[in-house]
Chains A and B, each alone.
Chain A
C-alpha cells in the first residue's frame, strides 16, 4: 500500500516534469517565432483560467475528453488499441439526436432515452471492431481507424442529405434541438452545462471499476492471453465487454456534445477529440484520477491556446507541438520505467 502511494506520487511528479519540459520547448519555439514566451504563456494561462467564464470553457472541453479518455483507458488496460474514439462519439451523437429531432417526446423521457441511445451507438461501433477481432482476428487498430472514417462520412451524408436543416441556408448541419431538450446551463453567461453531472458520475464509477471482478479480468487480459486463460478468464468475452464499455463512454461523449454544446449534428462533430483523449489516457497512467488531471491540463491548453492565438502573434501550432511532445516524452519514459514493458523488464531481471 505504502509503495503504491509512493509510486503514484512518483508517476505524478514525472508527469508534471514531462509537461514542464514540453512547455519549455514550447517557450523556445515561441521565442523563435519572435514573440515573448512569458507574455504568450500568461495569455494562455489567463485564457484558460483567468475568469469563471474561461474556467467554464475548460470544463466544457473536459467533459468529452475525460469521458473518452476513461473509455480508452479500459480498452488500453486490456491492450486493445481502440483508436476509434472519434467514430464512436459520432455514432453515439447520431443515434442520440434522432429522437430529439423526430419524436417530440417529453423531456423527462427524451433525455434518458437519448443518453442510452448514445451509449448503445458508441458501444456497438466499438463492439463491431471487437467482434471482427474475436471472429476474424482482425487487428483492432485498423478496424477502429476505418470505422472512424465510415462514421465521419456517414455523418457527412446525413447532414448534407436526409438530415440537413431545410432552413439552414445549405449549411451541412441538422435542425436545432428544441430548447426544452438542451441540457440545463448553470449560468446564462457560461456554457458549462448539466452534462458535467453525468461526467462526474462516470468518473466516480471508474474509481471503483478497477476493483470489480470485471475490472480485474480486463487487467488480466492486458497481461497476456495466456495469463488470463490460466486465471480462468474467458478472453474473447472479456475483450468484447471491454470494447463495448470503451465505446459506450465515447458514445456518451457524443451525447454531451449534441445535447450540451452544439444542440445539433454538424460536420466534424468530434473535432479530433479522439487523439487527444488517447494522449490523456496515457499521460494519466490509465488511472481515473490521473486521467481527470491530465484532461484538465489538456483542456486548459486547448482553451488557453485558442486565446493565445487570438490575442498574440504566437501561432497555434505551438500548442499542437506541446501536445505532441508531451506524449512523445511520456512513451519514451514509459518504455524505460513504467507501464507496458514492465513484464518484459521483470523478465530481463530474471534472465540477468
Chain B
C-alpha cells in the first residue's frame, strides 16, 4: 500500500492536483480580501460562485467560446454580489444573515436558470474545457514541469492575480481607500472618501473574482454544471481569507493547503486506499480556527469588520 503512494508518479499528480484544486479557492479568497478589508463579511460567496458557474457554463455552451463563458461568469458574479452590497451597505442589514440568504437564493436561482436554459436532459450537456497550456521549455523539465507548467490558462492567471491583488491593495490609492474604509470609516468619510462607494466596489470586486472561480469550476474543471458544483469552496475561501489574515500571498498558501488536502483525498481514493481521509479533510478547518486564535489576538481584523456605517451614528 505504502509503496504505491511513494512513487514519483503519485507525487507528481498529487502536487499538480494541489495547484489545480487550489485555484477555485484562491480566486474567491483573493476577491474576498477586498471585500473583507473594506469591513464586509460576505458569506454569500458560495452562492455567487454557483451563479458564476451557471452563467459561465451557459455562455460557453451557447456561444462555443470559453472566454465569453469566463466573462459571463465574472459579470453575473458581480451582478449577484450587487444584492449583497445593497443589503449590507445601503440597507445596513446583518451581513451574516444576508450572506446565508443569498447562498440559498443563489443556489436556487442557478439551478432554476440551468433548468430553463437546458431543460431536463438524460445526459448533462458538456463543454470542451480550456486545454492545458504547456509552457515552452519549462514544461519539459522532468517532474517540475509536470507539476507546475502543464495547467490550463486560468490556473496560471489565478496565480498571477495573487500579485495583482497584492499590488492593488498595497500600492494603489484605491487599495488605501479600501483599507481606510475598513479600519476607520468615519475618518475616511471626513477625508472625503465615499464609504458606501468604496464598500460597494469592494463587494462587487469580490463578486467578480467569485464569479470567475465559479466559471472555472464549470468550464475549466468539471466541464459541466451541477447543483453541488461549488460544494463548500466559497465558505473555504472566506476562511482562507481569515487564515491568511487578509494578505494575498498568505491566501495563496492557505488555498494550496486546502487544495493539497482535497488532492490527496482524491489521489488516495483513485488508488483505492481506504484511509481515514475524512480526518485529514478536517485538518484545514481546525487550522483555520487555530489561525483565528492568533489573528484575533493580534487584532488584525479591520476595525469596522461587519459593522455597517452610518454618518448619523456615533
Q: State the A residues within 8 Å of B (CB).
A: 29, 32-33, 81, 83, 132, 136-139, 141-143, 145-147, 149-150, 153-154, 156-157, 160-161, 275, 278-279, 282, 315-325, 327-328, 331-332, 334-336, 340-341, 344, 347-348, 351-352
Q: State the B residues within 8 Å of A (CB).
A: 41, 43, 83, 87, 91-94, 96-98, 100-112, 115-116, 232, 235, 238-239, 242, 276, 278-279, 281-282, 285-286, 288-289, 292-293, 296-297, 299, 301, 305-306, 308, 310, 312-314
Task: Decide: A315 near B111, CB < 8 A? Known: A320-B104, A335-B91, A340-B94.
Answer: yes
* Chain A neighbourhood of B232, CB < 8 A: 149
* Chain B neighbourhood of A335, CB < 8 A: 87, 91-93
* Chain B neighbourhood of A347, CB < 8 A: 312-314
Tell me what chain A mostly uses at the interface: helix, strand, loop, or mixed. helix
The residue from B41, B109, B293 contacting A317, defined by CB atoms under 8 A apart: B109
> When the two chains form their complex, are residues B108 and A141 in contact, meaning their CB atoms are under 8 A apart?
no
> When the two chains form their complex, are residues A160 and B278 in contact, meaning their CB atoms are under 8 A apart?
yes
* Chain A neighbourhood of B93, CB < 8 A: 331-332, 334-335
* Chain B neighbourhood of A331, CB < 8 A: 87, 91, 93-94, 97-98, 101
> When the two chains form their complex, are residues B108 and A143 in contact, meaning their CB atoms are under 8 A apart?
no
Nearest B residue to A282, CB-CB: B97
Measured CA separation A70–B116 after assembly (Å): 37
* Chain B neighbourhood of A138, CB < 8 A: 289, 292-293, 296
Task: Decide: A328 near B83, CB < 8 A? Known: A132-B292, A142-B239, A146-B285.
Answer: yes
> When the two chains form their complex, are residues B101 and A328 in contact, meaning their CB atoms are under 8 A apart?
yes
Extra contacts besides A324-B102, A328-B105 (17): CB < 8 Å: A136-B296, A139-B292, A145-B235, A146-B285, A146-B286, A150-B285, A161-B276, A275-B100, A275-B103, A279-B101, A315-B112, A319-B108, A320-B105, A321-B112, A323-B108, A328-B83, A331-B97
> When the two chains form their complex, are residues B112 and A317 in contact, meaning their CB atoms are under 8 A apart?
yes
Q: How many A-B residue pairs have CB under 8 A?
A: 164
Closest 7 CB pairs of A and B: A324-B105, A320-B108, A157-B278, A321-B108, A317-B111, A327-B101, A335-B91
* Chain B neighbourhood of A334, CB < 8 A: 93
23 residue pairs from A and B, CB less than 8 Å apart = A29-B112, A136-B293, A142-B238, A142-B292, A145-B239, A146-B285, A146-B286, A150-B286, A153-B279, A156-B278, A275-B104, A320-B104, A320-B105, A320-B108, A325-B105, A328-B83, A328-B87, A331-B93, A332-B91, A334-B93, A335-B91, A348-B313, A351-B312
The residue from B101, B109, B281, B308 contacting A153, defined by CB atoms under 8 A apart: B281
> When the two chains form their complex, are residues A83 and B289 in contact, meaning their CB atoms are under 8 A apart?
no
Q: Which of A146, A317, A352 has the most CB of B within 10 A?
A: A146
* Chain A neighbourhood of B314, CB < 8 A: 347
* Chain A neighbourhood of B286, CB < 8 A: 146, 150
For residue B274, give the distance in angstroms from its CB to the closest CB of chain A: 8
Task: Decide: A154 near B282, CB < 8 A? Known: A33-B112, A139-B296, A325-B105.
Answer: yes
* Chain A neighbourhood of B293, CB < 8 A: 132, 136, 138
Measured CA separation A129–B232 after assembly (Å): 20
For residue A217, give the distance in angstroms from its CB to the closest CB of chain B: 22
Task: Decide: A153 near B96, CB < 8 A? Known: A33-B112, A143-B292.
Answer: no
Task: Decide: A336 near B91, CB < 8 A? Known: A141-B43, A321-B112, A327-B101.
Answer: yes
* Chain A neighbourhood of B282, CB < 8 A: 149-150, 153-154, 157
> When the two chains form their complex, are residues A142 and B312 in contact, meaning their CB atoms are under 8 A apart?
no
> When the two chains form their complex, are residues A328 and B102 in contact, meaning their CB atoms are under 8 A apart?
yes
The residue from A33, A137, A147 contacting B296, defined by CB atoms under 8 A apart: A137
* Chain A neighbourhood of B87, CB < 8 A: 328, 331-332, 335
For residue B47, give the distance in angstroms from its CB to the closest CB of chain A: 8
